[in-house]
Amino acid sequence: MLSALRIVIPYMLRRRWRYTAGLAALLARALLAVGIPFALGMGVDALAAGEPVRDYAAALVGLAVAKAILQYLSQQLLVGAARDVEEDLREDLFARLTQLPQRFYAERPVGELLSLAVNDIVAVRMLLGPGLLQFVEALFVGTLALGLMSAVDWRLTLLIFLPIPFISLTVNYYGKRTQESFTALQQRLAALSAFLEERFSGLRTLRAYTRAEAERERFRQVNEGYFDAALALIRVWRRFYPQLELLTGLTWAATLGYGGWRILEGAMTVGDLTLFLASLALLTWPVIGLGWALNLVERGAASLERIHQIFRTPLQIVDGPHTDYSIDGVRGDLELEEAAVYFPGTEEPILDHISLHAASGVMIAIVGPVGAGKTTLLNLVARRIEPARGRILLDGAELRSVPLAVLRASVGFAVQEPFLFDGTVRENMLLGRPDAEAWEVDEAARIAQLTGEIADLPEGLDTPVGEQGAALSGGQRQRVALARALLREPRLLLLDDSLSSVDLETEVAILERLRLYLRNRTTLYVTHRAAAAQLADEILVLERGQVVERGSHRDLLAAQGRYYDIYQRQMLEEELIHDE
Amino acid sequence: MTSSPVPVRPAPAGSAPATLAIDYALLRRLAKVLEPYRRWILGALAMAGAHALLGAAVPFLTKLVVDVFVGAEGAPPGPPAWLPADPRQSVALIAGVYLALLAVQYLLRAGQIQWMSLAGQRAMHSLRERLFAKLQARPAAWFDRAPVGRLVAAVGADVESLNDLFTSGFVAVTADLLLLLFCFVWMFWFSPALAAVVLALTPLGVVLLWAFRRRSRPAETEVRGAVGSLQGFLAEQIAGMATVQLYSSEQDALSRFRELNAEHRKAQQVALTAQAWFLPAVELLAAVAAALLLVVAGGLIERQAVSLSVVVAFVQYGAIVFRPLQRMMERLSSLQAAFAAAERIFSLLDEPVEESAEPARPAPAPVASRPSKKGNKSEALGVEFDGVWFAYHGEDWVLRDVSLRVDPGEMVAVVGHTGAGKTTLIHLLLRFYEPQRGRILVGGRDLREWPREELRRQFGSVLQDPRLFGGSIESNIRLDPDAVDREQALEAARRVRLDEFVKKLPQGYETPVGERGASLSAGQRQLIGFARALAFRPQFLLLDEATSAVDPETEARIREGLAKLVEGSTSLVIAHRLSTVRRADRILVLHHGRVRETGRHQELLDARGLYWKLYQLQFQDQEAA
């Protein structure tokens, strides 16, 4: 827990002046706060003696005004500093996230990371802001009030301070129970939601089996489960709040009973009694706050631990001693020698014995069934994964010696289900090169056969594509992604079945244009369509991670092998689609 | 001290509207939801009232103690006559009364929380059930448009925040108002002049509260908006991180994130500033009240218009009456969220349900009785489509003038290329949708004359990707445990050869299937779907064969299972398997929504038309296998 806390220290040190000023304001405020009951007590005594009280009243107001200002300041300074730490920490976390490898993302649901960047960081802020503030405030006010009150009557003070630790403990204990019950309740709510999700999306099946009545019964049970969890929370609350009231009430009762007796003894004045009563009102909040602060510390520490883990996750594919920084550009001459990739943690190959050579300007088509390793091959070339065996050479140099930034800048990668960001068509196209000229955008759109469709959009290139590109059709999304890849002017263009939702004529037209555009660039493209594959200089047929056939369209047809079968079927399918 | 500050759970972010307009129609509906629990609610309110009354009495005890002391000194007014003459006994008695009062308050508070929360939870429990039943009765087509996430949130989270509106809104506010009322009653009883001083300051408190709301509400809205955009951006970036990295746009993403993050901090800062002055201001108000009391009391005591004890009691009242203001401030934002949630829930309740489950017209012929548990198939039904036209949207015809018959005992296969409209046939038969033109007859009766449930019971259906639900394999076969007993389920599983696979599982039929059947393969899910349909012993089998590829062994099992399934029953099968089309009594070739060819496998092949092409594409490979 403490080791995790260490990571926020530099962030806090950066704001050390504000923290110092905030704590000083807090101390001053505590001093003034304790002065208020004092002034009040003296005022009441003056009243009893028939003396003028104006001075005390003025002191009271003066103290209260100064205290209010200091309270405002300490809150602003300390909580404000914590918010700045929150901002920095979140930024550093996000920066780290942008560097983490794909494998990291494959293992974690989006929701988990989102919760980390939002909820966990908020928990850290609560720890460093309100948590720290309440903790220190309780310390200051508690100590000062203790000193002041025992100067007046130490016996009564002792009696009052007896239940006070129990108040903090009660808040801490039930705060934790509340948190637990609340988490359990949230889990039940999640179960309820999962149940509903399943029923609503499986509605047709259930209807077909006339399950309406029985489903209501099952829902009743799930609903009952939620209700029971809510009862558990009620059971905690129904003890928590009354107990808190009882304990604070006890301090008042002790003051009134024992204090009354001390007055009769002549050991205390009515003003002293008023002082005690006013001090109690002053103490109650910090004492309750202390209990909450302890919870905030525990929760914040757990959150910090989770954040810490992200900072500790290794980055994997990075530049290192193997990097040759003299490489500042790529021509695109690609060579694979007996490359192999295994399933994570096994020796089972996804790809094996892959050798190929693509001089710059060459187009290679890759075809093959699902699971043949086509995508893995492209990922290998883009260095999104590294080979377990074999070598990959780019312009004759080891791929891993090319600085990552240089490599990324020379690769254009378009996938089957491209991710479009919530913005305009233009913004999405400019993702990889925000400074591209307007004519370049138009040119990329033209090659991707988008010109006509963009003109039809309500705001042309500036039409918003919606969340994940929802406003566009699948084929349009794919072509925007292609244009995006082209705008980077890549030396190596990798297309992973990236035109599958585009109709065949358009795909062929795009590839034909690409041929011209890509004259001196290297292209590897995965496709399921023989008509598209036949435009390549070389076709590789992959199956179970191995190249089973390779050659030109003509050669492969003549061989009457796998490629030939694929070709025949697709010709037939085309015929069928066009038969109206 | 009289009542503890009860911390309130913060409102869920991003769910509240900017304004807190009290919608009386909404409140009336809410009251209706709570009506059945009125006794508990009234009981809880009575307890809250009693608690407040006792709380307001505490300063009175303080006053008594001071009176006792002053009396012992011999000064007027002295303690009331009903206290013991010995001052020490009096103080002991007062302390005892205070302790008793605390004990009673403890019980009252516990009882109030218990009853109020229980009433709230019960009401929400039944509201959830009502919502679910309502949603279940919606037409299938309605779900095509309604995002599932919204529905789930309405039944789950929205109902929860409605509960907040009730417990921490209505009840807590009532309790606080009562506390204020009782305090003022006591104060005026003791000293109208001093009470007037405190009362004069209360409007200032209300003004403070109002000013605070005015400043903090837009700030809160801003914060919610900022949190929302931050979350939205993060969710998008995390989901699209692969693209960000491929296009080396990490730096751009980071600078955009920096902006959003800073906006978020600024919005929080504004909200914090709005908050940071309120609490000090309220405490300042309390101190000013105390100072004013001292000054005014000085004059009054001189004229003997008020006693010292009353002044001490008033100092305590001053501390109590400003506390409810702080609490109300904490609650206001959760109330806003709750009002928005209530609106969503009630609007969902108001949407139309699937039209009456009863037939629109009185049935002219007696209804074919439901197959008995032991499943006699004596009353096999035929099905007929007569010139059916159907479109999911507008004039986008999926079926165009489709006519087909399946006579009792017959097996008819429908084949066609993707998008030919095959699955729609099944949707129409189960009456998930209504055809725009033409009619569909089941057992000679128009579909619309059948009670919906009765109609669906006639069919056993295996949809393309059989849905599995959380539970065991057995419970998934016996979707309807009343209609299908365990024996039937096991028998069905044996017949479709699911048995062999289930026996290999350590828990057999008790094996839980994961969320949406994730732990089972597509082939295994299909077999469960077959067993489910067979165990149901339908009059008529509807089968939409899955196209997804499975390993050869499972494929063989599925083929055999299918054969058992259709054996001797009346069935309409959307076929993707050669074995199925070969077995069919008749094959319909559906193309672009029209029936293009009809006949048996060999006849159609010989005709060398559409079917022949389809055969080459879809079935030929299976020939070799």
Looking at residue B552, what is its pLDDT?
A: 63
Whole-Å CA distances, A70 to A66, A346, B437: 6, 63, 78
DSSP β-bridge partners for residue B405: B384
Q: What is the pLDDT of residues A210-259, one digit of tens each?
A: 666 777 888 888 889 889 988 898 888 888 888 988 988 888 888 888 98
The distance of B272 to chain A (nearest Cα, Å) reads: 7
Confidence of residue A14 (pLDDT cuts 50, 70, 90): very high
Residue B240, CA atoms < 13 Å, CB-side half-sphere: 26
Which residue of chain B has the CA closest to A263? B69
Cross-chain CB nearest to A47 (options B227, B262, B311): B311
Q: What is the pLDDT of residues B241-254, one digit of tens each?
A: 878 887 777 888 88
CA distance B261 to B269: 12
Q: What is the pLDDT of residues B453-486, one digit of tens each?
A: 788 888 888 877 677 777 788 888 887 777 788 8
- Is B320 part of a structural domain of the chain? yes
Q: What is the pLDDT of residues B404-431, one digit of tens each?
A: 989 888 889 998 877 678 888 888 888 8
Q: Could you tell me the two tokens for B241?
A: 């991180």
B331, B349, B367: which is the final residue of a domain? B349
Q: What average pLDDT score do residues B203-210 get?
A: 82
Q: What is the pLDDT of residues A265-311, one digit of tens each?
A: 888 888 888 888 888 878 887 888 888 888 888 888 888 888 888 88
Same domain flag for B502 and B590: yes
Of the two residues B136 and A438, the one the predictor is more confident about is A438
Looking at residue B7, what is its pLDDT?
A: 34
Q: Average pLDDT over chain A, rounded to whole?
A: 86
By the CB < 8 Å criterion, does B109 face chain A?
A: yes
Burial of B133 (0-12, 13-18, 19+ CB in 10 A): middle
Question: Does residue B64 carry a pLDDT above 80?
Answer: yes
Confidence of residue B374 (pLDDT cuts 50, 70, 90): very low
Report B:147-186 residues touching A (Cβ under 8 A): 148-149, 151-153, 155-157, 160
Confidence of residue B12 (pLDDT cuts 50, 70, 90): very low
The distance of B157 to chain A (nearest Cα, Å) reads: 8
Question: Does residue B624 carry a pLDDT above 60?
Answer: no
For residue B398, the SS3 value is: strand
Question: Does residue B372 carry a pLDDT above 50?
Answer: no
User: Are B521 and B554 spatial neighbours (Cβ–Cβ below 8 Å)?
Assistant: yes
User: Do the strands A411-414 and A492-496 form a parallel or antiparallel pair, or are they unpaired?
Assistant: parallel
Looking at residue B147, what is its pLDDT?
A: 67
- Is B329 part of a structural domain of the chain? yes
Q: What is the pLDDT of residues B568-610, one digit of tens each?
A: 788 898 887 777 788 888 999 988 888 888 998 888 888 888 8
Looking at residue A92, what is its pLDDT?
A: 92
Helices B87-136, B38-72: crossing angle, 10 deg rounding: 160
Same domain flag for B397 and B470: yes
Q: Could you tell me the two tokens for B121?
A: 């939870």
Looking at residue B110, what is its pLDDT?
A: 92
**CATH code of the domain containing B171:** 1.20.1560.10
With an 8 Å Cβ cutoff, are A203 and B291 in contact? no
Report B:295-314 residues touching A (Cβ under 8 A): 295, 297-298, 301-302, 308, 311-312
**CATH code of the domain containing B551:** 3.40.50.300
Same domain flag for B597 and B505: yes
Please report which helix (H) or strand (E) contains residue A3, including its range: helix A2-6
Report B:88-107 residues touching A (Cβ under 8 A): 88, 91-92, 94-95, 98-99, 102-103, 105-107
- Is B106 part of a structural domain of the chain? yes
Q: What average pLDDT score do residues B286-301 get?
A: 87
Same domain flag for B317 and B463: no
Question: Does residue B545 carry a pLDDT above 80?
Answer: no
Q: Could you tell me the two tokens for A331?
A: 């021509």
- Is B244 part of a structural domain of the chain? no
Q: What is the pLDDT of residues B329-365, one digit of tens each?
A: 667 666 767 777 788 888 888 877 655 444 444 444 4
CA distance A233 to A178: 7
Confidence of residue B565 (pLDDT cuts 50, 70, 90): confident
- Is B128 part of a structural domain of the chain? yes
For residue A430, the SS3 value is: coil
Q: What average pLDDT score do residues B495-523 get?
A: 75
Q: What is the pLDDT of residues B298-310, one digit of tens each?
A: 888 888 778 888 8
CA distance A190 to B612: 51
Same domain flag for B345 and B414: no
Q: Average pLDDT over chain B, rounded to whole?
A: 79
Q: What average pLDDT score do residues A5-18 get?
A: 90
Same domain flag for B315 and B167: yes
Cross-chain CB nearest to A68 (options B62, B69, B283): B283
| Complex confidence, ipTM | 0.79
Q: Which residue range(s) make up the domain with B89?
A: 27-191+306-349
For residue B368, the SS3 value is: coil
User: Are A502 and A525 spatial neighbours (Cβ–Cβ below 8 Å)?
Assistant: no
Peptide bond into B435 cis (omega under 30): no
- Is B13 part of a structural domain of the chain? no
Total domain count, chain B = 2
Q: What average pLDDT score do residues B173-188 get?
A: 88
DSSP β-bridge partners for residue B414: B574, B588
Q: What is the pLDDT of residues A310-331, one digit of tens each?
A: 888 887 778 888 888 888 888 8
User: Are A155 and A258 spatial neighbours (Cβ–Cβ below 8 Å)?
Assistant: yes
What b-and-e string marks burial along A142-160, b requiring 16 or more CB atoms within 10 Å of the CB?
bebbbebbeebbeebbebb
Q: Concatenate the DSSP letters of all residues of B478-539 into one string.
A: -SSTTTS-HHHHHHHHHHTT-HHHHHHSTTGGGPEE-GGGTTS-HHHHHHHHHHHHHHT--S
DSSP letter for A131, please. I
Same domain flag for B471 and B338: no
Question: Does residue A28 carry a pLDDT above 90?
Answer: yes
User: Are A373 and A548 spatial neighbours (Cβ–Cβ below 8 Å)?
Assistant: no
Looking at residue A479, what is its pLDDT?
A: 92
DSSP β-bridge partners for residue A205: none
Looking at residue B375, what is its pLDDT?
A: 41
User: Do the strands B540-544 and B570-574 form a parallel or antiparallel pair, or are they unpaired?
Assistant: parallel
Among the ranges given (A56-60, B3-7, B64-68, B129-133), the one the predictor scored with the smallest mean pLDDT = B3-7
Question: Does residue B16 carry a pLDDT above 50?
Answer: no
Among the ranges given (B43-47, B144-148, B316-320), the one the predictor scored with the smallest mean pLDDT = B144-148
For residue B438, the SS3 value is: strand
Looking at residue B621, what is its pLDDT?
A: 61
Q: What is the pLDDT of residues A475-511, one digit of tens each?
A: 888 999 999 999 988 899 999 888 887 877 788 888 8
User: Do the strands A538-543 and A546-551 form a parallel or antiparallel pair, or are they unpaired?
Assistant: antiparallel
Which residue of chain B has the CA closest to A223? B125
Q: What average pLDDT score do residues B203-221 get?
A: 80
Q: How many CB atoms lie within 10 A of CB A78?
A: 27
Looking at residue A306, what is its pLDDT?
A: 87
Helices B486-495, B552-566: crossing angle, 10 deg rounding: 120
Q: What residues have CB less than 8 Å from A190, skipping those under 6 apart?
A: none
Residue B133: list chain A partners with CB under 8 A: 216
User: Are A498 and A515 spatial neighbours (Cβ–Cβ below 8 Å)?
Assistant: no
Same domain flag for B344 and B396: no
Q: Concatenate the DSSP letters of all residues of A101-167 into one string.
A: -HHHHHHS-HHHHHHIIIIIHHHHHHIIIIIHHHHHHHHHHHHHHHHHHHHH-HHHHHHHHTTHHHH
Residue A210: list chain B partners with CB under 8 A: 453, 456-457, 480
Same domain flag for B334 and B400: no
Q: What residues have CB less than 8 Å from B92, skipping those under 6 apart?
A: A257, A261
Which residue of chain A has the CA closest to B149? A197
Same domain flag for B341 and B448: no
With an 8 Å Cβ cutoff, are B245 and A408 in contact? yes
Looking at residue B610, what is its pLDDT?
A: 85
Among the ranges given (B84-98, B153-167, B513-527, B537-551), the one the predictor scored with the smallest mean pLDDT = B513-527
- Is B600 part of a structural domain of the chain? yes
Cross-chain CB nearest to A256 (options B98, B236, B283): B98
Same domain flag for B617 and B517: yes
Confidence of residue B505 (pLDDT cuts 50, 70, 90): confident
Looking at residue B363, what is its pLDDT?
A: 41
By the CB < 8 Å criterion, does B439 face chain A?
A: no
Same domain flag for B339 and B477: no
Report B:61-90 residues touching A (Cβ under 8 A): 61-62, 65-66, 68-70, 72, 87-88
Confidence of residue B389 (pLDDT cuts 50, 70, 90): very high
- Is B224 part of a structural domain of the chain? no
Confidence of residue A17 (pLDDT cuts 50, 70, 90): very high
